[in-house]
Amino acid sequence: MSDKLFGTDGVRGRANTWPMTADLALRLGAAAGRYFRRDGSTAHRVVIGKDTRLSGYMFENALTAGFTSTGMNVLLLGPVPTPAVGMLTQSMRADVGVMISASHNPHHDNGIKFFGPDGFKLSDEAQAEIERMTHAGVEVAQAQNIGRAKRIDDGRFRYNERLKMSFPEGKRLDGMKVVIDCANGAAYRTAPEVLWELGAEVIAIGVTPDGQNINQNCGSTQPETAAQAVLEHGADVGICLDGDADRVMIIDETGKVADGDQLMALMAARWADQGRLKGGALVATVMSNLGLERYLDARGLRLERTAVGDRYVVERMREGGFNLGGEQSGHIVMTDYATTGDGLLAGLQFLAAMVETGQPASQLVHQFEPVPQLLKNVRFSAGQKPLDAEDVKAAIAQAEASLNGNGRLLIRKSGTEPLIRVMAESEDEATLSAAVESVVQAVEHATA
C-alpha cells in the first residue's frame, strides 16, 4: 500500500478501496482541519460540496467528523459544481473548501479536492504537508471546542447569481434553443436554471442523477447523446458538462463537437481584440493541439504550456499575471471570474459570443485547423511501472525518431487513473498512427 495520497487533482480512487475509504477521509479531514487552524479559537470554518455519487454521503460524513474533531465548523453545500466550492470558500470567508468528486470518472470512483481560503486549489507544498499530517495523526480539539456542522441551503443560488453576472450586461438568450447535458452530476439543477433565467429555451438532459449514473453515456466525455439531442430538437447549440461541471464541450447546430482548444482559441482572440487578454498569452497544457499554438502565433499571441492538470495551468496564470487558460479536455479557467475551471461559465462565454457576433455555433467553434492528433490509453495494475521497461523506452525513442521533427510525441502517466497516455501529433497520419501504435504495443507487453 502506497503512502502517496494526492495526485494531479486531489485524492482519487475507487470508493471503499484505499485511499478512498471513510477512515482515510476522516483522517484527511482532521489533518486539513489542523493545517488550516491558525490559532486555538473555534472561529474557523470549512465549506464542503459534492457531486451526485452515492459514495458522496459517506465521504461527506467522514470529512465532517474529521474537521469537527479539530474544532472546525463545517458548512455543507450539498450537490454543487466544483467551481462553486472555490467561489463560496472565498465569499463565505472559509479557511478551506472541499469538493467531493471524481470529476469525469465513473460512479464507483470518488475524490477529495481542497481549496485554500483564496478559493484556489492548494499548492503541492500544502498538499504534501496535509498528507504528512494524515499519516502521522493530529491532536484533536478538547471536548468543549469540537466544531459544529450546518447545512447551507442557498449556496447554489449564490453561485447562480455569480454566473449570470459574468454574462454581458443587457444581453439575453431570448430565441436561442440550448441543449444542456449535465452528466447526471453536480450541475443538474444549476445549469438549466441559469440558462432559463437568461432567456434561453432549455432542453436539459443528464439531469436525473440516481447516485450511479453520473457520466454514464452522457456528459463531456461522451457527448454523442447531447449531439443527437441538438439535431433532434433543432437546437442552436449544445453544452456538455462533466460530473462536477468544471469542464465543457461545445456542440454546434450540425452536431459537431468542439473541444477546449477551439473554445480557448475563440476566447483568446476575442479577448485580445477587446484589450482584455492579460499578458498577450493563453496558458494551456502540453496536450493542447499544435494548431492552437500556430493560430495564436499568427495573431501575435503566445501559448504558455504547462504540465497536464488545471491546477498547474492556474499556477502559471497566477505567476505570469495571465487571465485565460485551460485544457483541451474542456477545463477553461478565467480568473477574472473564477478561481478554477468552470464549464458552465465557459459555456456562457461562448453563448455571449453567439449573441454579440450573430454568428452560428458552427462558425465560432472552428477557429483553426487542428494538426492530426492521436491519443490512446493503456491501463496498468498497481505496482507496475511500464515506463521503466527497457522495451518501452526503446519504442518511445524509435517513435520520436520516426516523427523526425515533424510532430510531437507525449507519453505520460495519468494523475487520476491507472493509465499510460500515449499521444502524438503529425501532419503525416500514417506515421502518426504507426508511432502511437508501436508505443502502445510496447506498454501493453510490459503490463501483460
Phi-psi region of 234 (alpha: psi -120 to 50; beta: other; left: phi over 0): left
Question: How far is residue 252's CA from residue 256's CA, in Å, rounded to a whole number?
Answer: 5
Q: At what angle do helices 22-36 and 56-69 cross, to 10 degrees?
A: 40
Question: How far is residue 87's CA from residue 115's CA, in Å, rounded to a whole number?
Answer: 10
**CA angle 180–184–187, rounded 5-degree value:** 60
Amino acid at the residue 29: G
Would you please indicate which residues are annotated as catalytic (active-site) residues?
A: 103
Consecutive H or E run containing 374: strand 373-379
The pair phi, psi for residue 250, each rounded to 5°, is: -110, 140
Is the bond into 372 cis (omega within 30 degrees of 0)? Answer: no
Which candidate, 372, 445, 381, 377, places its Cα nearest to that of 412? 377
The cell for 53 is: 455519487
Question: How far is residue 101's CA from residue 81's CA, in Å, rounded to a whole number?
Answer: 9
DSSP string, 401-415: HHHTTSEEEEEEE-S
- Burial track 233-255 (b if 16+ CB lie within 10 A, e otherwise): eebbbbbbbbbbbbbbbbbbbeb
From the centroid of its chain, how far is CA 442? 30
Confirm if 80 and 190 have CB atoms less than 8 A apart.
yes
SS3 237: strand
| C-alpha pair distances (Å), 98 with each of 181, 332, 434 | 24, 20, 43
Question: How far is residue 105's CA from residue 414's CA, in Å, rounded to a whole number?
Answer: 13
Which candidate, 310, 244, 200, places its Cα nearest to that of 102? 244
Question: How far is residue 19's CA from residue 31's CA, in Å, rounded to a whole number?
Answer: 15
